[in-house]
Amino acid sequence: MKTKQYLLSTIAIITFLISACGSSAPSTEVPMAATMTTQDTPVAGSAMKIPAWYSASFVDARTGESFAIQDLNGKVVLVEAMAIWCTNCLKQQGQVKALNDLINKPDDFVRIGLDIDPNENISNLKTYVETKGFDWLYSVSTKDVSREIASLYGDQFLNPPSTPIVIIDRHGSAHPMPFGIKSTDDLLKFIQPFLDEPM
């Protein structure tokens, strides 16, 4: 009898928790501000914090110059998690290249290929970028950055063949795109509202 009461009580508690906690999904938008430098800095008017990866220093494989996501505030930023060996990534980068040809404001639109394979390095990435003729920012992710990206946007972001892309709007909010290869038209349709948005 006690076992039956215990079982019924446990089922009732689990049902309550599922109905109370399962009704809303967490937001994937992550605000940023140009002056933010640490993940402990709160966003004005919000309890959310800046992701540490926005202030991480990256090295552009093509030029050797350093940059950070937070330095690009006010621009629309496309970040693709990729790897040199990934054929889907190469197809996706071809679509991104075609997208750039369609957009009239290249200074307002920044593309970043972020190599998340821990076995690849900046020298190999530079050779890849030069061989393929890509003219946008490419860098190798650190383990900490990859870990945070997976934590914020899902583990699938560490799977290059799923062609993970996140768009960061002019205000610093992150908008992950659906997984899979996105056509130039799909990319433009998703990004255009952010490009049209005033600063």
What is the full per-residue pLDDT of the chain (199 aa) written as tens digits? 554 444 444 444 443 333 333 333 333 333 333 322 233 333 444 444 678 899 999 999 999 999 999 999 899 999 999 999 999 999 999 999 999 888 866 788 999 999 999 999 999 999 999 999 999 999 999 999 999 999 999 999 999 999 999 999 998 999 999 999 999 999 999 999 999 888 7
CB contact burial 157-174 (16+ within 10 A = b; e otherwise): bbbbbbbbbbbbbbebbb
Residue with tokens 């937070």: 70
Q: Chain centroid to CA 136: how far?
A: 16
The tokens of 57 are what? 């220093």
pTM: 0.74
d(CA 15, CA 123): 54
Instruction: Write down the pLDDT at residue 52.
Output: 87
- Does 92 reside within a domain? yes
Task: Decide: 76 and 110 in contact? Cβ < 8 Å.
Answer: yes
CA distance 126 to 129: 5
Residue 62 lies inside a defined structural domain of this protein: yes
- The domain total for the chain is 1
pLDDT at 19: 36
Is residue 136, in this structure, part of any structural domain at all? Answer: yes
- Specify the pLDDT at position 155: 94
Write out the residue range of the structural domain in which residue 81 sits: 28-196
Q: Domain containing 56 — which CATH number?
A: 3.40.30.10
d(C-alpha 183, C-alpha 136), whole Å: 18
Report the relative pairing of strands 76-82 and 66-67 from DSSP bridges. unpaired
* pLDDT, tens digit, 9 for 90 and up, residues 18-27: 333 333 333 3
Tens digits of residue pLDDT in 171-185: 899 999 999 999 999
Q: Specify the pLDDT at position 182.
A: 97
Residue 18 lies in a domain: no
What pLDDT is stored for residue 43 in this prediction? 41
CA distance 106 to 187: 15
pLDDT value, residue 199:
72
**DSSP-assigned beta bridge partners for residue 165:** 80
